[in-house]
C-alpha cells in the first residue's frame, strides 16, 4: 500500500483523507527542495544522515546510501586528540569508502592546533567536508571543553573555526545546539562566528545541551540562526517521519534536514523525505525487503573488528533499532540479543520472517504495528 505520509489529515487506517491531487510539496517553499551548495560540494537531495556514535560506521553509512535519498553521510564523531596521535581505533572510525561521496568526517576537540591538524588528516583520508562538533551533550566530552561545551566558549570556538579554515582546502561545516541552556541560547552568534571564519554550512540540533534529548525539538528556534547567516542551515532533532521533516522545514526555514534516530527505525526515511520534497509518492517497503536489508547489513558487518564480542555488540545495537515497529518486535529483539553468533542471528531472523509470511503479514512496516 502506498500512501502520502506528509498529509496530516488521514483516516484511521492511515490513508490520506484529502484528494490525490494534494502533494506534500504544496506547503514547502522551492528553496527547501533545492540542492545544498557547501563550497565546492553539492548535497542533493538536501537530506543528510546524522552522525551517531557506535552506529554510523562505514558499513551502516554504505547501507543507507544504497537505498537512495541520502545527499550526505557523516562519520561517527572522531577525537582530534586520538586522530593526531594515530590511535588505531580512532582512525578506523574515520574510515570512508572510496565511492562514498560526498562524505563528511566529524571531529571534536578543544585545542585549535589539534583540530586543525585533524582536519588536514581528514582531508588526506578523502573527506569532502570536515564537520566540527559543537553539539555532543555527553558529560565525558563536555568535561574536556569539547562538543556542546564550546557553545559556552564563543572565543575558543572562533579560534578553532579560524584554525581549521586556514588548514584545509575542503569546506568545513559546524554542527551545534541552540545553546548551553534556555538562558544561554547563542546559536545565532556561534553560527555567525563560524560563517565569518569561512564555514560553508551549519546544522542545528533544535535543543539546548541541558535538554539533552528530552522534550520536543524546538524547530522554530532554528529560524533565528537562518536569519543570522547567509550560508545554508540544516535542521536536526526529532526528524522521525516524513511529516516531521516537512514541519521542521516550515518551522525553521532551514534549507535541509538531518535525521538520525528516525533512519535507525526506518532506513528508507531519507529516501521517503527526498521523494516527498520532489512531489512523488514515498516508497513503502514490504516487510520482506526489511528482512533482506537486515541480512545485507549482517553480511557487510561480519568483518571489521578483531573481537567477535565487540562486532556482535555493534550489530545487536543496530538491529535493536531496525526491528522497532515490526509486529511482535519485542519478542524478536529478545531472541536477537540472546544470539551468540552472526549465524544464530540470521536463523532467528529467518524464523521470525517465516512466521510473518505464514500469518499473511507481508504489509509495509508501520509504526502502528502492535508490540506483542
Show which residues are catalytic. 136
Q: Are 371 and 330 in contact (CB under 8 A)?
A: yes
Classify each residue of 83-115 as buried b or exposed e, where b means 16 or more C-beta atoms within 10 Å of its C-beta: bbeeeeebeebbebeeebebbbbbbbbbbbebb
Measured from the Cβ of residue 280, the count of other Cβ atoms closer than 10 Å reads 14
Q: Which residues of 250-279 are buried (b: 16+ CB within 10 A; e: fewer)?
A: ebbbbbbbbbbbbbbbbbbbbbbbbbbbee
d(CA 199, CA 203): 11
**Separation CA 60–CA 83 (nearest Å):** 21
Q: Is 201 exposed, middle or buried (0-12, 13-18, 19+ CB in 10 A)?
A: buried
Q: Single out the residue of 77, 71, 79, 76 nearest to residue 110, CA to CA.
A: 79
* Non-local CB neighbours of 331 within 8 Å, separated by 6+ positions: 372
Amino acid at each position: 500500500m502506498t500512501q502520502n505520509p506528509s498529509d496530516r489529515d488521514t483516516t484511521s487506517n492511515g490513508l490520506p483523507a484529502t484528494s490525490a491531487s494534494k502533494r506534500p510539496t504544496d506547503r514547502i517553499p522551492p528553496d527547501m527542495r533545492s540542492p545544498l551548495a557547501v563550497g565546492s560540494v553539492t548535497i542533493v537531495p538536501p537530506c543528510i544522515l546524522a552522525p551517531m556514535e557506535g552506529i554510523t560506521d562505514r558499513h551502516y553509512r554504505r547501507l543507507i546510501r544504497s537505498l537512495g535519498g541520502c545527499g550526505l553521510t557523516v562519520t561517527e564523531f572522531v577525537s582530534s586528540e586520538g586522530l593526531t596521535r594515530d590511535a588505531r581505533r580512532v582512525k578506523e572510525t574515520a574510515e570512508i569508502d572510496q565511492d562514498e561521496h560526498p562524505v563528511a568526517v566529524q571531529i571534536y576537540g578543544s585545542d585549535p592546533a589539534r583540530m586543525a591538524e585533524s582536519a588536514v588528516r581528514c582531508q588526506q583520508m578523502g573527506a569532502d567536508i570536515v564537520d566540527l562538533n559543537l553539539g555532543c551533550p555527553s558529560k565525558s566530552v563536555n568535561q574536556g571543553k569539547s562538543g556542546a561545551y564550546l557553545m559556552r566558549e564563543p572565543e575558543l570556538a572562533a579560534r578553532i573555526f579560524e584554525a581549521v579554515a586556514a588548514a584545509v582546502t575542503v569546506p568545513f561545516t559546524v554542527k551545534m545546539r541552540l545553546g548551553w541552556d534556555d538562558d544561554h541560547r547563542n546559536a545565532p552568534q556561534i553560527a555567525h562566528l563560524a560563517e565569518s571564519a569561512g564555514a560553508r554550512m551549519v546544522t542545528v540540533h533544535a535543543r539546548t545541551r541541558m535538554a539533552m534529548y528530552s522534550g520536543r525539538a524546538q524547530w522554530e528556534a532554528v529560524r533565528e540562526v537562518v536569519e543570522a547567516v547567509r550560508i545554508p542551515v540544516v535542521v536536526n532533532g526529532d526528524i522521525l517521519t516524513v511529516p516531521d521533516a516537512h514541519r521542521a522545514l516550515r518551522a525553521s526555514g532551514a534549507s535541509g534536514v538531518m535525521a538520525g534516530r528516525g533512519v535507525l527505525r526506518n532506513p528508507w526515511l531519507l529516501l521517503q523525505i527526498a521523494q516527498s520534497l520532489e512531489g512523488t509518492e514515498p516508497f513503502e517497503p514490504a516487510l520482506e525487503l526489511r528482512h533482506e536489508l537486515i541480512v545485507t547489513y549482517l553480511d557487510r558487518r561480519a568483518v571489521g573488528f578483531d573481537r567477535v564480542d565487540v562486532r556482535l555488540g555493534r550489530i545487536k545495537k543496530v538491529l535493536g533499532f531496525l526491528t522497532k515497529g515490526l509486529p511482535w518486535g519485542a519478542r524478536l529483539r529478545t531472541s536477537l540479543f540472546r544470539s551468540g553468533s552472526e549465524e544464530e542471528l540470521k536463523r532467528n531472523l529467518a524464523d521470525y520472517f517465516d512466521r510473518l509470511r505464514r500469518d499473511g503479514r507481508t504489509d509495509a512496516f508501520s509504526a502502528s504495528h502492535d508490540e506483542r
